[in-house]
Amino acid sequence: MRRLPWSLSLSLLCLACAPTQRQTPDAGTPEVKPQRLVAHIVHTYPHDPTAFTQGLQFHQGQLYESTGEKGDLRRISLEQAAPLWKQPMPDVFPEGLASDGQRLYQLTWQDETLFVWNGAPPAQEKQVEYDGEGWGLCYWQGQLVRSDGTSTLRFHDPKDFHVKSQVQVMLQGVPQEMLNELECAEDGVYANVWHSNNILKIDYATGRVLAVIDASALAQAVRGRVRSYEAVLNGIALEPGTGRLFLTGKLWPDLFEVTLVGPA
């Protein structure tokens, strides 16, 4: 057999193992302007001001939250701040939370462990190890989308959590770092930007920022009622069926239903 050039044979070898870097030519084009949207508060609900929110997720008709620091997995409601159910997780720092309809998947910040939950109330089914940091997580079309504080989103196989592909998130040619809590919508993935009042809506295929959502009205609404420097906007949940959008923050006393409004 004719020998393949070294670089070509290497890339053939790795076709099965290396994640695909996806990007189309328009992904970083500076002239493609994102939409500018503003989050308006529709309703204000109570939220546990001791919950260090890292993930907010509807699952089987219920609202769940993953909290970091001295964290847990908890089921919450719109009626009261206190959780309806919780499972403390004292040995790890829990992060993003996703649902495939059957299971809950929960990241950890630097513990390199994914927790998989099944049943109601959720029981731990398994733990899966992975490389790197875990920030945000959501589920879309058979894949788990993970952020890790960089500008890269990784697409994992839910079965063994191996990385299948990745995209870099770009806004008019500039990489967007510090992507935190995620929410998978049909037409894009919403991402909180850590320590900012902006939420980005990102195209799955290209990583291009489709919209920049200004959620500063929410931070304004909790001003004076939060103390910690780390009490920042984080937590996005879309309610299946109704499409209602809920946002909160770490250590915030409120959870908001919002609508997104474009320029007049």
Letters for 139-158 (x = contact with ligand DDQ by CB under 6 A, - = none) are ----------x---------
Specify the residue, 37 or 56, whose C-beta has the smaller distance to ligand DDQ.
Answer: 56
Output the smallest distance, CB 103 to ligand DDQ, in A.
22
Q: Which residues between 59 and 78 bind ligand DDQ (CB under 6 A)?
A: 68-69
Q: Give the residue, chosen from 64, 105, 115, 135, that forms a contact with ligand DDQ under the rule CB under 6 A.
A: 135
The nearest distance, CB 194 to ligand DDQ, in angstroms, is 5
Q: Which of 72, 148, 183, 203 binds Ca ion (CB under 5 A)?
A: 183
Cβ closest to ligand DDQ, residue 37 vs residue 161:
161
Pick 96 or 207: Cβ nearer ligand DDQ: 96
Closest separation in Å from C-beta 187 to ligand DDQ:
26
Rounded to the nearest whole angstrom, what is the least distance from the CB of residue 66 to Ca ion in the complex? 9
Shortest reach from residue 26's CB to ligand DDQ, in Å: 30
Nearer to ligand DDQ, 6 or 229 (CB): 229
Q: How far is the CB of 239 from ligand DDQ (least distance, A)?
A: 24
The 10 Å Cβ neighbour count of residue 210 is: 17
Report CA-CA distances (Å) from 193 to 31, 169, 250.
Answer: 22, 12, 13
3-state secondary structure the chain: CCCCCHHHHHHHHCCCCCCEECCCCCCCCCCCCCEEEEEEEEEEEECCCCCCEEEEEEECCEEEEEECCCCEEEEECCCCCCCCEEEECCCCCEEEEEECCCEEEEEECCCCEEEEEECCCCEEEEEEECCCCCCCEEEECCEEEEECCCCEEEEECCCCCCEEEEEECEECCEECCCEEEEEEECCEEEEEECCCCEEEEECCCCCEEEEEEECHHHHHHHCCCCCCCCCCEEEEEECCCCCCEEEEECCCCEEEEEEEECCC
Does position 148 interact with Ca ion (CB under 5 A)? The reply is: no
Query: Hey, which residues between 167 and 206 contact ligand DDQ (CB under 6 A)?
Result: 180, 194
Which residues sit at the interface with ligand DDQ, rule CB under 6 A? 54, 68-69, 95, 109, 135, 149, 180, 194, 228, 230
* Footprint of Ca ion (CB under 5 A): 56-57, 183, 236
